[in-house]
């Protein structure tokens, strides 16, 4: 057995900054808490993404970026964006360093089946836009998983994903990170890499106290070779290296360039290891699980009550958004079904328009051949409402415990903007339920209907609000 097969190490970093600001223009605006930078995208770029890019770290790790952040980098941080693009290149057999992820960073197990598929398809389209190849792997936001999501990934051509040990049912494996073969219905299969939770958490939450990459490599990684199998996977938020912990892009640099090798490891990417090692040892996933300890994904689904906080507003907010989606879906379906079109298959292909890889006129020539100009414009507007509705469910909407924080407010603004556009396109008032739905969403002394009225006024939306 070669050294490559005996001891390999992959460090994985996921980078995410959600869309914010004006949902119709995409302008983030000024975020005072990010001072001295204009907004958090700039701050995270300067503290973490650019230093890691300039240190060459992206050429030595596996990584993923939420499409919203990568789109922003493409426009506002071109030199850094180009380094990230170039860092994906250079490995064989269609492999690289980057993985795809859900387009709006949604918690996929909480989404409807057709919305899961759209998030996957749009996420893959974004990956191809930025990296010029089809992805092998797919990072699940918050590592949230269920069997249906894995089956849809496999159906879309994704070959593997990444999970935590606690997400594998009855984990008893002693052969490292895999890849393993997840059990799926109808004979499907998908590869699963399993991170080392303990060592990943050390990096994620305690990196400042590890004594530097050299000390950690000698004292922890070296001895770990005896019991961690052919591949050790450390997976964490990419912002750990420089943003959450200032200057720790240097820890990553020394680890992947020198200290891991001194401890007996070869540095590999997940793509590279996957194409050389077929998945083996079948595993089953814990349904509706994530990397954290939230049973049934309650943190993002229903909220919870404990001695310190009451976040049950999350369940009410999600129900309000579900009702918005139902209204928007109904008019979208009613517009397309009479023409014999599958509205959801067509929506899946709309990612190319979102990314600027296809003009809507070209899209219409392909899918709306029987539609006249005005009818095409109506469909174009309704597709915009579909995209806005998908944004409502981004993980950030439900991550913070405060209803009056930026992400829930942004999601409510997306809902209002989508309903306003749908009203313009159809002449129908679809917002009747939103105000009463949000009136019962209460947290931190704030109600959802108050936020709704505020964003409607701020964005100058033509939306009738009763009550």
d(CA 316, CA 301) in angstroms, rounded, equals 9
Counting as low any pLDDT under 70, the low residues of the chain are 1-6, 90-92, 174, 466-467
What is the reported pLDDT for 307?
77
Which three-class secondary structure string do you get for 180-220?
Answer: EEEECHHHCEEEEEEECHHHHHHHHHHHHHCCHHHHHHHHH
pLDDT of residue 6: 53
Give residue 228's pLDDT: 82
Separation between Cα atoms, residue 338 and residue 320, nearest integer Å:
29
pLDDT of residue 89: 86
The secondary structure element, H or E, covering residue 138 is strand 137-139
DSSP string, 47-90: IIIHHHHHTTGGGTSEEEE-HHHHHHHHHH-HHHHHHHHHHT--
pLDDT of residue 467: 58
Confidence (pLDDT) at 170: 86
Of 243, 254, 173, 163, give the one whose Cα is nearest residue 204: 243
Task: Provide the angle, in degrees to the nearest 10, between the axes of the packed helices 67-76 and 78-87.
Answer: 130
Structure tokens at 257: 């360039």
The owner of tokens 């994904």 is 297
pLDDT of residue 3: 40
pLDDT of 282-340, one tens digit each?
999 999 999 987 778 999 999 988 878 889 999 999 999 999 999 999 999 999 999 99
- pLDDT value at position 5? 45
pLDDT at residue 92 in the model: 66
The ranges assigned to domains in the chain are: 3-295, 302-459
pLDDT at 308: 80
> What's residue 306's pLDDT?
82
Q: What is the pLDDT of residue 94?
A: 82
| CATH of region 3-295, choose from 3.40.50.970, 3.40.190.10, 3.20.110.20, 3.40.50.880 | 3.20.110.20
d(CA 142, CA 145): 9
pTM, two decimals, is 0.96
């Amino acid at each position: 057995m070669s050294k490559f097969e005996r001891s390999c190490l992959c460090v994985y970093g996921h980078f995410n900054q959600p869309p914010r600001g004006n949902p119709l223009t995409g302008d983030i605006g000024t975020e005072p808490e990010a001072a001295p930078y204009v907004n958090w995208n700039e701050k995270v770029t300067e503290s973490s993404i650019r230093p890691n890019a300039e240190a060459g770290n992206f050429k030595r790790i596996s990584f993923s970026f939420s499409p919203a952040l990568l789109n922003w980098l493409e426009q506002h941080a071109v030199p850094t964006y180009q380094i990230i693009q170039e860092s994906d290149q250079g490995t064989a057999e269609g492999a690289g360093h980057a993985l795809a992820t859900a387009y709006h960073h949604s918690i996929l197990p909480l989404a409807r089946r057709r919305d899961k598929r759209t998030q996957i398809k749009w996420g893959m389209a974004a990956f191809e836009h930025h990296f010029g190849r089809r992805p092998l792997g797919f990072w699940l936001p918050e590592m949230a998983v269920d069997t249906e999501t894995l089956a849809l990934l496999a159906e879309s051509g994704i070959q593997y994903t990444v999970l935590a040990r606690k997400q594998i049912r009855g984990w008893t494996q002693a052969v490292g990170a895999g890849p393993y073969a997840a059990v799926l219905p109808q004979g499907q299969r998908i590869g699963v890499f399993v991170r080392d939770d303990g060592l990943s958490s050390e990096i994620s939450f305690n990196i400042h106290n590890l004594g530097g990459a050299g000390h950690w490599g000698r004292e922890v990684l070296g001895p770990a070779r005896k019991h961690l199998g052919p591949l050790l996977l450390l997976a964490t938020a990419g912002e750990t290296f420089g943003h959450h912990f200032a200057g720790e892009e240097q820890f990553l640099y020394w680890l992947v360039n020198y200290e891991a090798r001194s401890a007996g490891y070869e540095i590999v990417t997940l793509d590279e290891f996957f194409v050389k090692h077929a998945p083996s040892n079948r595993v089953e996933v814990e349904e509706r699980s994530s990397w954290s300890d939230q049973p049934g994904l309650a943190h993002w689904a229903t909220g919870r009550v404990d001695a310190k906080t009451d976040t049950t507003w999350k369940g009410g907010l999600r129900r309000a958004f579900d009702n918005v989606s139902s209204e928007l879906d109904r008019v979208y379906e009613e517009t397309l079904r009479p023409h014999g079109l599958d509205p959801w298959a067509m929506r899946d292909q709309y990612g190319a328009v979102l990314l600027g890889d296809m003009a809507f006129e070209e899209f219409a020539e392909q899918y709306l051949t029987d539609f006249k100009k005005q009818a095409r414009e109506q469909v174009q507007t309704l597709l915009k409402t579909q995209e806005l509705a998908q944004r409502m469910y981004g993980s950030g909407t439900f991550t913070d415990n405060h209803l009056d924080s930026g992400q829930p407010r942004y999601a409510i603004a997306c809902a209002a903007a989508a309903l306003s556009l749908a009203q313009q396109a159809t002449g129908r008032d679809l917002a009747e339920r939103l105000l009463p739905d949000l009136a019962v969403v209460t947290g931190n002394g704030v109600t959802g209907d108050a936020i709704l009225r505020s964003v409607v006024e701020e964005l100058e939306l033509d939306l009738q609000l009763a009550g």
